[in-house]
Amino acid sequence: MNIYLIRHGNKKLGLFNEDVNLSELGYKQADITGKRLKEYDIDIIYSSSLRRYIQTAEKINEHLKVDIKIREELKKHLI
């Protein structure tokens, strides 16, 4: 089993822990990532419940066509 960790795309301005949308650049980054990941045998995408993570996963998934599982425990937490 292989696990690939992908960081969310560039986000619109906001504080570090705010639930904000991807920027236009972030959508382009996620699209490029999805195109590159097509050559891998990916079965599922796991995503945090924050908007920018879900938007990144959905954009990538336009190329992969797999299930996306939203997991609350994948959220960033400030320490």
In a domain, 10, yes or no: no
3-state secondary structure of 10: coil
Residue 5 in domain: no
Instruction: Decide if 32 is inside a domain.
Output: no
The answer as to whether 26 is a domain residue is no
Which domain does 73 fall in, by range? 41-79
Dist. CA 4–CA 19, nearest whole Å: 23
Residue 11 belongs to a domain: no
pLDDT digits (tens, 9 = 90+) for 10-59: 888 766 667 889 999 999 999 999 999 999 999 999 999 989 999 999 99
Whole-prediction pTM: 0.87
Count of structural domains, the chain: 1
pLDDT of residue 79: 44
